[in-house]
Amino acid sequence: MARHVAAVTLVACLGCAAGREPVHDTTTDAPPAAAVAFTPPDSTALREATAALGEFLEASREGSATHDRLTRLTACPGGDEPAQGPMLATFELLAPSARADTVVGRAVVTTVAEQDVDRQHRGYFIARMRVRRDTLEWDVLRSESGDRVVCNGLRFGFTAPDSLTAWRPNGASRAAARALADSIGNGAGARGLLRSSP
């Protein structure tokens, strides 16, 4: 009798389980994210961007005759505040590359001085003469007006007045740094000449 009751109970339990809905995860499959469509820069865009970067760097050199073009060349979407940068002597453009729909411009730059906040004397600055060579890059974008503009990279030139700046080493000055920049620039020959990456 006990065996008969156990068998009936087992059959009843199996019947209950068969009638239940299968258990599923409560998460639902989200639709795939829409792909962002963009057009990679073509050879014309790369040439235009390289020309704009060359114009930006030429205008950024200390004492450049085209310095007034910087405002137009750096009118970046969303704004791009000028920042303190080193004194540019010369540059060599490198081949650009593309990152999504953005042209990445590159150049080897030679700078001759840098200016920093004087941490000992509030409101004053310290400038140091030194020659430094770096490979840098910038995003070259299309502005709302359709011009190529140089964004998201190092700017050049001192923003603090010389009257608030102490130069290092002793005997250094803005005039001496400018003369050094001119000397290096004149010795560089074809400044801005596009060359292959190192």
- What the chain holds in terms of domains, given with CATH numbers, is 43-187 (3.10.450)
DSSP type of residue 32: P
Q: Find the mean pLDDT for residues 139-167.
A: 92
CB of 129 closer than 8 Å to CB of 114: no
Question: Which neighbouring-strand residues pair with 88?
Answer: 111
How many percent of the chain have pLDDT more than 90?
Answer: 58
| pLDDT value, residue 28 | 54
Q: How confident is the model at residue 14 (pLDDT cuts 50, 70, 90)?
A: very low
Neighbours of 118 (CB within 10 A): 16
Look at residues 153, 174, 155, 154 and name the one whose alpha carbon lies nearest to residue 164: 174
Give 194's pLDDT tier (boundaries 50, 70, 90). Answer: low
pLDDT of residue 11: 45
Give residue-wise pLDDT tens across range 82-105: 667 999 999 999 999 998 889 999
DSSP-derived 3-state class of residue 167: strand
Extract the tokens encoding 16. Answer: 């209950």
pLDDT at 143 > cutoff 90: no
Per-residue pLDDT at 115: 94
CA dist 126 → 133, 164, 178 (Å): 20, 8, 16
**Considering only CA atoms, which of 160, 112, 117 is closest in space to residue 134?**
112
DSSP 163: G
| pTM (two decimals) | 0.74
Residue 31 is predicted with a pLDDT of 56
Q: What is the pLDDT of residues 112-127, one digit of tens each?
A: 999 999 999 999 999 9
* Cβ neighbourhood burial of 84 (10 Å; 0-12, 13-18, 19+): middle
